Amino acid sequence: MANNNRTNRELETREKTVAKRSWEAPDVLPKPNPEPGYEFKWVRIATLGNVDAPNISSSFREGWEPCKATDHPEITLATIENERFKDNVVIGGLLLCKMPEEMLAQRAAYFKEKAGDAMRAVDSSLMRENDPRMPIFHDRKTSVSFGKG
């Protein structure tokens, strides 16, 4: 008779020690490896299969340059979706572009100035409607005093 008191060898092995991974929400678009002196942006080149020429041309006029796929081998999901940009990184109708940080700072300063001009124009227009009997803006000053007694 065979002795059946033996435990199965698979149960005797040690458990593998594996570091637990925590779940993270996946990025919708992969991040390119940083390049000194450059910032990256995904530019829409198509929506529902239709080429978005105005968005492409305005982005290029602003200074965004398409990134070559050979410069970013870390992005492996890229597929050829548009014949015009077959050598570039394109995912889901978005083209990876880059701009020098110096030019990006100039762009930010330009738009900050435009926003300031717009706010000054709104304030000026609003103050034209101001009536001294019912001021729109009324500076309120409060003071606290302590009484005696």
Unique residue bearing structure tokens 């080149």:
45
Burial state string for 136-147 with b = 16 or more CB within 10 A and e = fewer than 16: eeeeeeeeeeee
CA distance 89 to 93: 10
Q: What is the pLDDT of residues 57-86, one digit of tens each?
A: 999 999 999 998 888 888 865 455 566 777
Percent of the chain surpassing pLDDT 90:
29
Kindly tell me the sign of the dihedral angle through the C-alpha atoms of 15, 18, 24, 27: negative
| Strand duo 50-51 + 46-47: pairing | antiparallel
Mean pLDDT of 97-102: 93
Q: Could you tell me the residue ranges of all domains in the chain? A: 37-128
| Strand duo 90-91 + 50-51: pairing | unpaired
